[in-house]
Structure 1
Amino acid sequence: MRLSAPTITDEPLPMSFGADSGSGPAIRPEAVVQFDALLHELYPDAVRVDADRVRNLCVWLASMPAQAAQDVLDRRLRRIDELRAMLDDDCWDPPDALRARLAKLIGYLDQDEDLIPDREPLLGKLDDVLLLELAWPAFAAEAEDYRDFCAYRSETGAAGTGDEQRAAWIRDRLAEIQLWQHNMRVNASHYSRRGHAEAPFRVGS
């Protein structure tokens, strides 16, 4: 059984629409091809992106109340900030292949003239968050580990080199897991004993 790919929020962008609305910003065919190629370089299992899908997504976002539409973007843009921090943090050392993919992702995000130029009101960041969302499964595990590491570092005030901080984080998290597993076994043992009927009490013979 194949598990669902992780999503960047609990409300993914809608990727299925009816017929092309025919409205929305002009989308250059060559820009769509480049966008889709980059997406599948970052995450080969991503859905395909074409001009109709991008236009319909633009229409969907533009039809929302202004604040709600901005919230859709901001929730995803915050994750971009987390990825930038992860890449720049000397105490975190992602695998070389993932670091290279992250650099390509951020390189696209830093372009002003991309699939939808950043100067476009509201819609200018839609292609950025679309790329991030569809490629997210390639980065999700590392990003969640880094988020937990940052929380641990903040809670404990971990000191030392990056290697030492990561080693302490792994050691303490493993200890927490082992304690949780121990408690689960103890609870299961108590439940098992309570579940067996005791032998009836006999008076005399």
Structure 2
Amino acid sequence: MSIQISLELSESDLTHFRELMQTAIENAKALPADEVISKAQALCEEMESASVPDFVKTRLVSLASLIEALQDEEWQIPEDEKTEILTSLAYFSEPHDLVPDNIPGLGYLDDAIMIELVIQDLSLDLEAYTSFCRFRKTEENRRGSDANVNRESWLAAGRTECRSRLRRGTRRRLFSRGR
């Protein structure tokens, strides 16, 4: 038998978590980017091998995708986006959690909340990277695994698609007016 518990975090609760994140960011400034990434990866691996609740597992996928985006050479992430993601991963390089991870069922609650905050802040970056990965897979299936697919080719394809939609929309409007 399972039980469902919903949590609603107030603005003061969220402020508390954001303050924890800010402290982690300050502490992580001295760490090299590779170390922040490896600590976040280690947390993902630890969570994957642990028996974590579903509310953590669902968020873990997004955290892993952000880490992949940082390491994906073909994504060619701009420096400002890279810095923003690294900054967001700072909490996961902290050795001490708000809730100790070894508490069954609840140990990763603070991590899940922090992941959710990171996902909300970086949702557009995550969405763009997911779209790029789908595009890359499609192109590799279409042209072969040696297809040269990078961020620039993804953006170019997106611009082409956007122009095509605009042209189709313009034609429809012209024809619906009787021209």
TM more than 0.5: yes
Equivalent pairs counted in the alignment come to: 139
Is 2:70–2:82's contact at 8 Å kept on the other side of the alignment? yes
Is 2:76–2:151's contact at 8 Å kept on the other side of the alignment? no
For 2:58 and 2:7, the matched residues in 1 are separated by: 12
Q: What's the RMSD between the two structures over aligned residues?
A: 3.1
Mapping of residues 128-167 of structure 1, within 5 Å: 128-157=111-140, 159-160=147-148, 165-167=150-152
TM-score scaled by structure 2? 0.64
Aligned to 2:19: 37
For 1:102 and 1:41, the matched residues in 2 are separated by: 16
The residue identity in structure 2 corresponding to 1:159 is: A
Q: Does 1:119 align with 2:113?
A: no
Which structure 2 residue ranges, 5 or more long, are not aligned? 1-5, 25-51, 141-145
The more displaced of 110-119 and 121-130 is: 110-119
**For each residue in 1:14-48, what CA deviation from the matched residue of structure 2 results, as whole angstroms up to 9, or x when unmatched?**
3249xxxxxxxxxxxxxx96x43244589xxxxxx
Is the radius of gyration larger for structure 1 or structure 2?
1
For 2:99 and 2:65, the matched residues in 1 are separated by: 23
Aligned to 1:15: 9
Is 1:118–1:125's contact at 8 Å kept on the other side of the alignment? yes
Q: Does 1:95 align with 2:78?
A: yes
Is 1:83–1:143's contact at 8 Å kept on the other side of the alignment? yes
For 1:155 and 1:93, the matched residues in 2 are separated by: 19
Aligned to 2:57: 74
SS in 1 for 2:75: coil
TM-score scaled by structure 1? 0.57
Shift of 1:112: 5.3
Q: Which of 169, 173, 180 is the matching residue for 2:154?
A: 169
Higher helix share: 2
Quickly say closer, same or farther: Cα 1:38–1:100, change in 2 above 3 A: farther
Quickly say closer, same or farther: Cα 1:156–1:182, change in 2 above 3 A: same
Aligned to 2:177: 192
